[in-house]
Chains A and B, each alone.
Chain A
């Protein structure tokens, strides 16, 4: 049976099943993890290796219109970072926004087998899916941007909540999305319609609507919970990057009133200080709130020194950064749905704010009492490329290394945080949580992030090394869906990967309400908007949870 694989003698970390470094046998058959396989099945002797579930990235920007703009935009970051063709594995280019094939292969080389594109205007979903088809190996899905959706906001301001919920469900189906993303709720209207301004307060009225950011946030948190989506509302809070924004972040979390919510790249939302002045760290306040509120989860959005690309639906933020750096800049509005800003960026050790951001991210990881709710991300490529994950893991596992790195950064910034007082070193078990088990669980992907029977056979084997950065940089074996992608450090066959999406039920009558809106506001026909099933021929519908 060529589809069966036995992995023996490896040190297994599988937090969802409570397995912490035991020497344990893992059996694979037909793409799944099984109890046992025939004795004569092919076998990997994983002696000296660590066996982990494939990594799961809960938040990154890897496919779609804005990503492709960022690729075309930065030839300067590609020439020195190429990825040659290897037999049938396609060539590509890197930089902080790699080409599609290179994105898939590089993720897999690190041992990641699932990644979620975090910001797609539904009008661009078709484009995103096209790119995801060309992003090999990994399974993937995407969140659709709904917090600046003119049609939804009109329903909301009129208090038509039942229709609002149906419309959200319709939109997820139409775009083949996995989840609902909020970016700078309410900020598009002042940006597009009022001379590039913004909203700054959750209770401020949004120009042109009888609505506040808080009402949008509340409605989408409730709706995602009510629909039983596998992943709750995924929120990029208002006031990203602004000094003093931690109060907005806490207010946003409070708006959930105990219901499930995910706050993304929370590092960028954990600043004290006054607007216009240098930020300070409020990692403690944010951590305390999350530690005490089990309905809230977050990913960190760690900043890593070096090149990055700012790429976000938060157009006013990018404009502000553009005016600080005076670098080349992209703005791209999507009708009725979203804004977008793109800017090449570089985080530098000696700069106060950058060093502070770096330290705050680490504080957030290390102060989290529950690693299941504070998971790993760099908001790729915003805080830095996903290629930094191995280094980030080492920073979390190796206190000495962390102190050495902190010594190279702006001391005023570092000393204004509690980073140097944090003695915690994460264990391999905890790393397995924040990079595998927890993101899978938060995403509601029951078959991922673990090595229990019935799980997808997405498995990574690393040589057990002292230097965790070196260890996580190059997986020795990567098994995806039961097939080898990397075997003994070498690429094997290419692998397509699946598109994960949801299909919440909705009342078909809602289309009669949405269609007239399209006629007034959109430039494409309503009938040409929904994405045909043929686009996700290799898709997997992740079920919504039964509602109680």
Chain B
């Protein structure tokens, strides 16, 4: 066994929503370190190569080392003693773990929410309002001759998005790759991404909605006056030419990022964009897609949705799922000081939520599951160290286009998976709450 290094082909990178599945990993002879990650981008390389199995304790209770069993008991204790336990995070773990987390929320009549609520929650809401036309990334690679990015910087956030999916790939329908496509970027400032664009629209900050609405009007053949330029920074002539190009293409795609979802207008912006794309389908085939960030945030959306009917911000206080963003989204639940226990899986709200929410986090018992210490885990009543998905843990993840993939872990970790810990906590909760198979003996 020892002495020779091991190669894992077709391994899957979960660092960003591209979820590239063509990585070739070399694991050193000790079996505890990745020495090469062929095909990965700079972010992916860092993700794989910097992964070390650290010498952390498997669990801490009140900052003191504890066994896994003790910590599971303590976590279950925290949960069953809470009236409004809230579970949050989930975008950087497997679907198998996500399922256990939703089950816990269900059995506790608690609250569950994912990082979707702070990135593409508005996309989910806009989608509920107007729907979407979308496609898997391969259809875009194969056919898209007009590619637009709005409010995102894939060159830096999703480094292989251009190469693998939307800009450079050649296909039987796009034999010359990028030359066969028109690339357009919309942003408030030039970026690494906009440098490769054929068309760059630098728009005034906060004018996304107006611009999208103006484009909708043009698609529908309505007359617009020239004031659109003053409001958005884009002249009517340019806009007309652009819209014409969009109508004339054979297969268009509009990707959008948090520059659209998290700025003024939020779900109105996304609704306008999704509806623009729908309108364009009167003329040609046109699709859209949010460029999702975390490796399995799309899986989190899916799991929460198939188990409850809603994809984030779900509350079980009444014994069944209810959805209301702003009410059951974690930032709000914490900001209002409502939750009396918090479980965080693979996320760090203690470092990026509002001051009010963080203050509340510090005042309630917190359970964390993470491969590494985080700001949130410093305040935790119970902190678990878990194995890293994709590198140590197998399971299912979803690419940003909802295509599911099975992970190919490189080596074992001494730490348990999120799934294992959550499953144990769930079982303990069921014991404590008397939730058991109601198996009456036959007649």
Contacts and interface: CB of A to CB of B under 8 A. Distances in A.
B21 A91 contact: no
A527 B131 contact: no
A72 B124 contact: yes
Contacts of A342: 131
Given A44-B443, A99-B321, A124-B403, A73 B136 contact: no
A332 B135 contact: yes
Nearest to B109: A85
Nearest to B436: A88
A329 B275 CA distance: 10
Contact of A522 (B138, B310, B405): B138
Nearest to B22: A525
A131 B306 contact: yes
B251 interface: yes
A87 B138 contact: no
A195 B284 contact: yes
In which size bucket is the chain B interface?
35 or more
**Main SS class of interface, B:** mixed
Contacts of A101: 307
Contacts of A65: 402
Interface string B123-145: 01001111111111111011100
Given A75-B310, A95-B309, A329 B131 contact: yes
B437 A493 contact: yes
A135 B162 CA distance: 38
Interface stretch (A76-84, A227-235, A368-376): A76-84
A84 B285 CA distance: 42
B10 interface: yes
Contact of A72 (B251, B310, B435): B310
A42 interface: yes
Given A88-B436, A195-B250, A528-B12, A521 B138 contact: yes
B305 interface: yes
Nearest to A208: B173
B227 to A, nearest CB: 29
B138 A491 contact: no
A2 interface: yes
Interface in B109-162: 109, 124, 127-139, 141-143
Interface in B302-321: 302-303, 305-311, 316, 318-321
Interface string B390-412: 00000010100011111010000
In which size bucket is the chain A interface?
35 or more
Interface stretch (A52-60, A333-341, A391-399): A333-341
A75 B309 contact: yes
A88 B95 CA distance: 21
B128 A91 contact: no
Given A99-B321, A192-B143, A333 B302 contact: no
A85 B135 CA distance: 35
A93 B320 contact: yes
Interface in A311-359: 319, 328-336, 342
A291 B133 CA distance: 41
A521 B142 contact: yes
B323 interface: yes
A123 interface: yes
B443 A72 contact: no
Given A42-B442, A334-B139, A528-B21, A92 B9 contact: no
A547 interface: no
Nearest to B249: A195
A528 B406 contact: yes
Contacts of B129: 328
Contact of B9 (A79, A521, A527, A535): A527
Contact of B136 (A43, A87, A126, A335): A335
B404 A72 contact: no
B141 A335 contact: yes
A61 to B, nearest CB: 13
B324 to A, nearest CB: 9
B321 A82 contact: yes
Contact of B435 (A75, A87, A92, A525): A87
A63 B124 CA distance: 20
Contact of B107 (A85, A192, A333, A520): A85
Given A134-B306, A328-B129, A492-B440, A335 B137 contact: yes
A192 B281 contact: no
B307 A92 contact: yes
Contacts of A494: 437
B6 interface: no
A71 B437 CA distance: 28
Contacts of B107: 85
B278 interface: yes
Nearest to B99: A134
A123 B403 contact: yes
Contact of B142 (A71, A123, A127, A336): A336
Given A330-B133, A484-B440, A484-B442, 5 more contacts: A91-B319, A192-B135, A331-B281, A484-B439, A520-B172
19 contacts: A71-B309, A72-B127, A74-B128, A75-B310, A75-B323, A91-B308, A127-B398, A130-B303, A192-B135, A193-B143, A193-B285, A332-B133, A332-B135, A333-B134, A492-B439, A493-B437, A521-B142, A525-B10, A531-B406
Interface of A: 2, 5, 42-44, 63, 65, 67-68, 71-75, 78-79, 82-85, 87-88, 90-93, 95, 98-101, 123-124, 126-127, 130-131, 134, 191-196, 319, 328-336, 342, 484, 487, 491-494, 520-525, 527-528, 531-532, 535
Give the 10 A-B CB pairs with smallest separation, nearest first: A335-B138, A42-B442, A93-B309, A333-B135, A493-B437, A331-B133, A82-B320, A523-B138, A328-B131, A126-B404
